[in-house]
Structure 1
Amino acid sequence: MNPIVEALRAHGDRIAVVTDTQQVSYSTLADLVSQASTALGPERRLVLLEARNDLPTLVHYLGALAGGHVSMPVPAGGDHREILRTYSPDTVIDAAGIHHRRAHSTHRLHDDLALLMSTSGSTGSPKLVRLSHTNLASNAAAIAEYLGISETDRAATTLPMSYCYGLSVVNSHLLRGAALILTDRSVVDDEFWDLFTRHRATTFAGVPHTFELLDRIGFDSMDLPHLRYITQAGGQMAPDRVRRFAALGERRGWQLFVMYGATEATARIAYLPPELALSHPETIGRAIPGGSLSIRPGAAWPDGTGELIYRGANVMLGYAQQPEDLALGASVEELRTGDIARCGPDGLYQIIGRSSRFVKLFGLRIDLDRLQAALADRGVTVLCTDDGDTLAVAAVDAGGATASDVQQLTAIAAGVPAGAVRAVLVAELPRLVSGKPDYAAVRTLAAEPPFSDGSDLREMFADVLHLPAESIDRDASFVDLGGNSLSYVAMSVRLERALGRLPKDWHRMALRELEYSCTPRPRRRATVETSVALRAAAIVLIVGSHAELFALWGGAHVLLGVAGYNFGRFCLTPVPRLTRLRHLRNTMAWIAVPSIAWVAIALILTDDYHASNLLLANKFLGPHDSMTAGRLWFVEVLFWILVALTAVCALPGADRWERRRPFAFAAAFLALGLVLRYDLPGFGLGRDAWFTVLAFWFFAAGWAAAKATATWQRVIVTLVLVVGLHGYFNNSGRETLVLAGFALLIWLPALRCPAVVATGCGILAEASLYIYLTHYQIYPLFGDHRVIGVLAALIAGVALTYVVNAARKYVASVAAGSGHGYGLRSWCALVTRRFSIRKRRRPCDADSELWTAGRR
Structure 2
Amino acid sequence: MLSLPPDRRVALATGLARFGDRPALVEGERVLTYAALAAEVEEVGRLLGGTRRLVLVAAGNDRGSVVAHLGALAAGHVVLLTADRDASVAELVATYDPDVVVRGGRVDERRAGTAHDLHPDLALLLSTSGTTGSPRLVRLGVEGVQANAESIAEYLAVRDSDVAVTTLPLHYCYGLSVLHSHLLRGASVVLTSLSVVDACFWDLVRAQGVTSLSGVPHTFELLDRVGFGAGVPPSLRYLTQAGGRMAPDLVRRYAELGQRHGFDLFVMYGQTEATARMAYLPPDLVLEHPGSVGVAVPGGELRIDAPDPVTGVGELVYAGPNVMLGYAAGPADLARPREVTELRTGDLARLDEAGLVEVVGRVARFAKVYGLRVDLDRVDHVLADDGLVAACASDDQRLVVAVQVEGPARPGPGRRLEARVAARVAARVGAITSLPPSGVRVVAVREIPRLPSGKPDARAVLELAAGSGAPEPQDVRGTFALVLGVERVDDEDTFTSLGADSLSYVETTVRLEELLGTLPTGWHVLSVGELEALRRRGDAAQRPRRRGRSVETGVLLRALAITAIVATHGNLVDLAGGAHLLLGLVGFNLARFHLTGTSAPERARRLVRSATRIAVPTVLWAGAVTLLAGAYPWRTALLLNGVAGPASWSEPAWHLWFVEAVVALLLGAAALVVVPGIHRVERRWPFWLPVAVAVAALATRYDLVSLRGGDEIHRAHVLAWLVALGWAAARATTWQHRAVVSLLLVATVPGFFGDPAREAVVAAGLLALVWAPVVRLPAVVARACGTLAGASLWIYLTHWQVYPHLEDRWPLLALLASLAVGVTAQRAWTAATAVGGRAVRGLRSGRPAIQRAAPEGGSVIAVSPESSTGRAPGTTLTATGVPAG
Q: TM-score, normalised by structure 2?
A: 0.46
Choose between structure 1 and 2 for higher RCO, CA contacts under 8 A separated by at least 6 residues: 1
Q: TM-score, normalised by structure 1?
A: 0.48
